[in-house]
Amino acid sequence: MIPALIVFAYLGVVVYIGVFAFRHAHGRKEVEDYFLANRSLGPFVFLMSLFGTNMTAFSILGSSGHAFANGIVTFGLMASPAALVMPLMLFLVGTRVWALGKRHGFITPVQLFRDRWETSHVGTVIFAVQAVLLVPYVIIGVMGGGTTLAAVSGGRVPYWLGGALVAAVVMSYVFFGGMRGTAWVNTFQTTLFLVFGAVAVLVIGWGMGGFSASVAALAASPQAFLLTRERFSTLDFFSYTFIPLSSIAFPHITIFCLTAERMAHFKRTVIFYPLCLLAIWLPCTFLGVMANRAAADVPAVQAKLEARATLATQASTLSAEERAGLRAKASGDDVLVQLLNHYAPAWLAGLLAAGIMAAVMATDSQILALSTMFTEDVFAHYEGKARFGEAAQVMTGRAFVIGLTVVAYLIALRMPESIFAIAVQYAFTGYAALAPLLIGALFWRGSTKWGALASTLFVATGVLGIAAVNAYVPAPLPGQPTPVWSLAGQDVVVRTAGGLSVLGFMPVVPMVLVSSLLLVVVSLLTPRPSAATLARYFAD
């Protein structure tokens, strides 16, 4: 119970930082201060909180859980492509968003789209699609909180209570602190995780008798495939390089780009971002793989491996419900916490679990972003601010924070899928396919609102289609894909054990390509915005 108590103390510190230490709205422009910290973040806070914003439950729990089941491929799927694409997007797109935001006073990406393409309702459609796609991301944060607290307390804090506590803490400091509170909490949390993450690796490695011996034993076991990528498709691996495009299209990241005091603050962020990714993902992936050697020491890991073995050998004789139950038992989302609980002393396990909790609570930025979008793109845009004033706008944003958190929590209680699957299939794929909108708006004067609308509607339809097929076509056994749509004898869309496949690629590849194509083709066929508008966005 000691680790759980330390985590509770940590949650208290986080609330203190968010709620009390950074309430500086008095005397400032209320809206820009609450939603953008008055565009005043310095270089260190900008780097650490931007990175922390991206280090969610998915990064820590999802990555180690995925590595537990799939091996070292996890790092190459999500970390190394992001190490190139994410800072590149910040360099190319983030700096332009910052400059336009400062110049024109934008607070959300939809405001930029509305102004750039001289449209109101198309912007509303983009808002709706962005908001719906962001909700799963908020849900995984709550799920991560429930999973972590349940594991840290040895089951004494049930999943529903852990999720509720994390949701309440995040809601509190976002409600009171806004972007300033969120940024400082993220900075504190990221620093904590980077420091204690390094300690975790050393402690677990020492507890397991040294990594060299563990890796050699794994290499000599039937699970040696976890140290290679031999069971993973090269086309799927390539597909994952499209996923980090989502990073800049996520509204919480786009909005965060507006908080820097100077554009020069992007420099360090762009350079150090790949190193921060390395520092977080390498230990998580490695420890996730190594957890497979901890079965003899950690009963919870042994139970997972047994469930996995049963699935592998008897899946064809089991009902769909039994398979789903075994998949849930075999899920590795909590292996990192299980390793800490076993190999670290209680007080250190508590500190390290607090570090994990830090990443889990990165969901704060998504909640704030949704609140910002609602109040700016709907409330203020449709005259709410003009009628009721700026204070009412901020209060509306705060009310939205409460409503959204409660809804996310209720959904998290019923969500059966693993953290990784939800994040990748819906949020990441959808936002990667929305990235062409932002790139088109900033770099192509020929892009039009109709092109943007076509692209956005396609993304919404595509994500709904993926969700529908996943829901109605049962997941087949590994290695026995179910054809969903064939053309001239060629299987085009296939349901696999892990999701959907389109001509061997993950859905994100065709989604990004078709979304880009629609933006280009429809824009070429429709009239551009006025010359006056274009002149404000393109210097020559």
Partner 1 sequence: MKNALLGLATLALYLLHQDVWFWRSARPFLLGFLPVGLAYHALYCLLASLLMLLLVRHAWPAQLEREADTRDERHRRP
Which residue in the set 3, 62, 65, 87 belongs to the binding site for partner 1 (CB under 8 A)? 87
* CA dihedral over 24, 30, 34, 36, signed as positive or negative: negative
Backbone dihedral angles phi then psi of residue 490, each to the nearest 5 degrees: -105, 125
Chain positions 215 to 234 lying near partner 1, rule: CB under 8 A, are 215-216, 219, 224, 227-230, 234
Distance of alpha carbon 272 from alpha carbon 290, whole angstroms: 27
| Angle, CA 279 vertex, CA 274 and CA 280 arms, to 5° | 100
Which residue in the set 23, 24, 28, 262 belongs to the binding site for partner 1 (CB under 8 A)? 262
Which residue in the set 8, 211, 388, 444 belongs to the binding site for partner 1 (CB under 8 A)? 211
Which residue in the set 12, 42, 104, 347 belongs to the binding site for partner 1 (CB under 8 A)? 104
Residue number with CB closer to partner 1 (209 or 345): 209
Q: Residue type at 422? A: I
Distance of alpha carbon 499 from alpha carbon 474, whole angstroms: 10
Residue 271 as a binder of partner 1 (CB under 8 A): the answer is: yes
DSSP letters for 428-490: IHHHHHHHHHHHHHHH-TT--HHHHHHHHHHHHHHHHHHHHHHHHS----TT-PEEEEEETTE
Applying CB under 8 A, which part among 94-102, 246-254, 344-352, 446-454 lies near partner 1? 94-102
Residue 99 as a binder of partner 1 (CB under 8 A): the answer is: yes
In angstroms, give the least distance from the CB of 352 to partner 1: 20
The answer to whether residues 431 and 78 touch, using CB atoms and an 8 Å cutoff, is no
Applying CB under 8 A, which part among 150-158, 279-287, 416-424, 468-476 lies near partner 1? 279-287
Distance of alpha carbon 454 from alpha carbon 224, whole angstroms: 47
Residue number with CB closer to partner 1 (445 or 536): 536
Applying CB under 8 A, which part among 2-10, 52-60, 256-264, 317-325 lies near partner 1? 256-264
Applying CB under 8 A, which part among 125-133, 135-143, 178-186, 268-276 lies near partner 1? 268-276
Residue number with CB closer to partner 1 (224 or 521): 224
Closest CA to 537 of 215, 13, 11, 116: 116
Residue 238 as a binder of partner 1 (CB under 8 A): the answer is: yes
Chain positions 402 to 421 lying near partner 1, rule: CB under 8 A, are none
Residue number with CB closer to partner 1 (30 or 322): 30
Residue number with CB closer to partner 1 (212 or 317): 212
Residue number with CB closer to partner 1 (82 or 167): 82
Which residue in the set 3, 47, 69, 96 belongs to the binding site for partner 1 (CB under 8 A)? 96
In angstroms, give the least distance from the CB of 96 to partner 1: 6
For the window 52-81, what string marks contact with partner 1 as x by the rule CB under 8 A? --------------------xx-xx--xxx
32-35's contacts with Cβ under 8 Å and 24+ in sequence apart are 32/107, 33/178, 33/179, 33/180, 34/178, 34/179, 34/394, 34/397, 35/107, 35/178, 35/179, 35/255, 35/368, 35/371, 35/372, 35/375, 35/376, 35/397
Query: 37-68 burial, b for 16+ CB within 10 Å, e for fewer?
Result: bbbbbebebbbbbbbbbbbbbbbbbbbbbbbb
In angstroms, give the least distance from the CB of 278 to partner 1: 4
The answer to whether residues 274 and 87 touch, using CB atoms and an 8 Å cutoff, is yes
Residue 264 as a binder of partner 1 (CB under 8 A): the answer is: yes
Distance of alpha carbon 408 from alpha carbon 115, whole angstroms: 31
Applying CB under 8 A, which part among 102-110, 118-126, 178-186, 322-330 lies near partner 1? 102-110
Residue 535 as a binder of partner 1 (CB under 8 A): the answer is: no
Residue 33 as a binder of partner 1 (CB under 8 A): the answer is: no
CB within 8 A of 299, min separation 6: which ones?
Answer: none
Backbone dihedral angles phi then psi of residue 345, each to the nearest 5 degrees: -60, 155
| Angle, CA 57 vertex, CA 248 and CA 217 arms, to 5° | 115
Interface positions with partner 1 (CB under 8 A)? 31-32, 72-73, 75-76, 79-81, 83-84, 87-88, 91, 95-96, 98-100, 102-105, 107, 115, 211-212, 214-216, 219, 224, 227-230, 234, 237-238, 241, 262-264, 267, 270-275, 277-278, 282, 285-286, 536, 539
